Each structure stands twice: as C-alpha cells, then as structure tokens.
C-alpha cells in the first residue's frame, strides 16, 4: 500500500475539523511546494540527476533548510535505487514518507506538553517581540480553560510598552486572571507573585509571558535565567516547558532565532505562529531536523481555536492533500 493511501486511511479516522485546519492552514505552502513538485514530475520521464537537482531547489525554496534538504535528497536517491523507481510520479509518495520520517527521527519527538498529573504546571514562553507570543498565550489559555483547567497568566514582559495591557485584554477575552506589576518592574518579582497566586488559588496551569527584547542579547538571556531560577525555587522541577515562539513568515530568520535561544536557554519546544501566512512552511522540518527541538503547536489562522498541537502526519497531509485525496481506493 502506498504512503498516500495509508495516510488517506489514517486521516479519514481522525477529527475532520483538525485535519481540515492543517489543510487550509498550509494552503500557501502547498500551492508553492506541492504544485512545483507536480510540475517537476510531469516534465521528467525518468528519475535522473537533473530531476534531483530541480527537486533540491524546490525544497530549499520552501525553507526546508539546506542541511535537511541534503539529507532528504540523499535518502531519496537511496530509496529510488533500492526500489528501482523509474517513474518520477512514484517519487512523490517517497518524498512525503521521508518528510514524516525526518520529523519523527531522533529523540524528544513528542509534541505533547509536559503536564503535571498533580499540582501546578508552569509553562514559560520566550521569543523576540512581534512573533505572536502574547496571542499564543491567550489562545492556549482558552484551550486549557475549555478543557476544564484552572489557568492563570503572568505578565512577565514588563519592558515593552503595552505588553501588560495586551495580556490583560486576552485574559478578559478568555476569562482568565492576569498577575501583573507596573511597567518597568522586575519580571522575576512578577513570577514570584504569580506562582504564589497560582498555588493559593489551586490553579492547574500558569502561563508566563517574558520580555522579548532588552538592550542586548546578554541582558535578555540573564533576565530569562533569573526568571527561571525564581520559578524553580518556588516550584521544584518547573518550568515544566520552555516554549520558544517563532514567526513562520520570517523563514530562515526564525531558524537563526531558535539557534540563539537554544544556546542560552533550555528550550523544550517550539510554537510556530502564522504558518498559514507563509508559502515556506518547510521551516517546520528545518527546525526539527537541525535543532532537534520538537514543534509543539502551530498557528493555522486568526481564530481562537486555530492554534493546533503539531502532528507530522497532518502536516504532510496539508502539504500533499490534493495527491492524498486522489490516491486510489
């Protein structure tokens, strides 16, 4: 059975709404990537070196990342040789299978959040200004509240003008309290108060916003370390997740940001926002393969429930849904 056919069967057994969100959210990338692959396949009568060179350019153009593209092309060449594939159309199936394999290979592949069975779960959000960090926190607060969890927000970005108010707006919108100090106050002091409030109110989840830009990188990272120390002192083992929020529309720049944060703070997962707004959704694979950090959530639209847990098979379905749906019964 072909990979497309297997994927079609699997998707038919899953929640239609979520599957459709991935399909709709990745439409720009699919139109850019999948259609170019289709066009490439239709032009070639055999799978040769020129075919692979053009495929390489298409993958790099989708921001899959140079290192990842080289690995993928090598794997494809081996598979084509092993299966003695002559027809370029058969390569499409192998490409999608390898994309899932690239994401799932290695350690820490789980996209699930490290929720504590008992007591407080603390999730710290990091990332530069403008990537959608506060919006992500608001949407996750909504998601967890809908699941019946008691959620609190900590307004730890005390440096950016309007950041506290922006988080408060989200808190009001989703019906969740925000623990805050005045603008310019010590973020670590905010976190201390937020943890105490979460404990006294018996909250299940504390979502913590942090500053996205201080005067320089060193200051920012020192501030994050201080915040983490306070949290860990008050809740042993916390923060249970450090989620780096990246804007998918910035492409390779998002990869550079991820490398910088990984060097200086213990990032446990990625939230990739605005995936629906880019034609270069291959950045998901570049981040996973080159940094070995799992993507835990992706933003697939503007609505409250458009922030979805990442699923590599749904992602590949979103990239190739036209071919998956055409696969023979």
Report helix, strand or coil for 294: coil
Alpha carbon 58 to chain centroid, angstroms: 22
Query: Is 134 marked as a binding-site residue?
Result: yes
Eight-state DSSP code of residue 273: E
184 Cβ contact list (under 8 Å, min separation 6): 158, 159
- 3-class DSSP state for residue 108? coil
Is residue 209 annotated as involved in ligand binding?
A: yes
276 assigned ligand-binding residue? yes
At 64, is the secondary structure helix, strand, or coil? coil
Any binding-site annotation on 303?
no
Tokens of 320: 């190739």
- Strands 295-299 and 307-309: what pairing? antiparallel
Between CA 90 and CA 47 the distance in angstroms is 10
Residue 274 assigned to a binding site: yes
Is 212 known to sit in a ligand binding site? yes
> DSSP 3-state assignment of 150?
coil
169 is in an annotated binding site: no
Was 266 annotated as part of a binding site? no
Residue with tokens 């809740």: 235
Q: Is 211 known as a binding-site position?
A: yes
The secondary structure of residue 268, as a DSSP letter, is -
Is 213 flagged in the annotation as binding? yes
Token reading at 34: 């999948």
CA distance 30 to 25: 9
CA dihedral (26, 145, 258, 291) positive or negative: negative
In contact, 108 and 98? CB cutoff 8 Å: no
Tell me how far apart the alpha carbons of residues 121 and 328 are, in angstroms, rounded to a whole number: 46
From CA 69, how far away is CA 258, in angstroms rounded? 19
Query: Is 112 flagged in the annotation as binding?
Result: no
Q: Is 210 annotated as a binding residue?
A: yes
Confirm or deny that 132 is annotated as ligand binding.
yes
162 is in an annotated binding site: no
Instruction: Please tell me whether 122 is known to bind a ligand.
Output: no
Do 124 and 241 form a contact (C-beta atoms < 8 A)?
A: yes
- Taking the C-alpha atoms of residue 103 and residue 107, their distance in angstroms, rounded to an integer, is 10
Q: Which residues are annotated as a binding site?
A: 127-134, 209-213, 273-276
Q: Which residues are annotated as a binding site for GTP?
A: 127-134, 209-213, 273-276
């Amino acid at each position: 059975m072909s990979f497309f056919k297997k994927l079609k069967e699997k998707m038919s057994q899953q929640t239609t709404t979520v599957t459709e969100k991935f399909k709709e959210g990745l439409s720009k990338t699919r139109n850019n990537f999948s259609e170019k692959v289709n066009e490439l396949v239709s032009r070639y009568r055999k799978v040769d070196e020129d075919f692979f060179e053009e495929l390489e350019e298409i993958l790099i153009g989708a921001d899959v990342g140079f290192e990842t593209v080289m690995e993928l092309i090598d794997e494809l060449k081996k598979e084509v040789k092993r299966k003695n594939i002559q027809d370029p159309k058969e390569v499409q199936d192998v490409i999608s299978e390898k994309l899932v394999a690239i994401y799932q290979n290695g350690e820490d592949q789980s996209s699930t959040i490290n929720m504590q069975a008992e007591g407080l779960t603390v999730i710290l959000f990091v990332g530069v200004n403008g990537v959608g960090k506060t919006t992500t926190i608001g949407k996750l607060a909504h998601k967890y509240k809908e699941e019946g969890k008691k959620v609190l927000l900590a307004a730890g970005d005390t440096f950016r003008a309007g950041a506290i108010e922006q988080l408060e707006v989200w808190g009001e919108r989703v019906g969740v309290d925000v623990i805050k100090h005045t603008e310019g106050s010590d973020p670590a002091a905010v976190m201390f108060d937020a943890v105490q409030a979460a404990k006294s109110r018996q909250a299940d989840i504390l979502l913590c916003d942090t500053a996205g830009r201080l005067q320089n990188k060193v200051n920012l990272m020192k501030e994050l370390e201080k915040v983490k120390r306070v949290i860990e002192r008050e809740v042993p083992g916390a923060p249970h997740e450090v989620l780096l929020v990246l804007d998918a529309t910035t492409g390779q720049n998002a990869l550079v940001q991820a490398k910088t944060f990984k060097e200086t703070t213990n990032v446990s997962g990625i939230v990739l926002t605005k995936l629906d707004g880019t034609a270069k959704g291959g950045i998901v694979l570049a981040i996973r393969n080159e940094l070995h950090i799992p993507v835990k959530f992706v933003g697939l639209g503007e609505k409250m429930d458009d922030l979805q847990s990442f699923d590599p098979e749904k992602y590949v379905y979103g990239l190739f849904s036209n071919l998956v749906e055409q696969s023979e019964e």
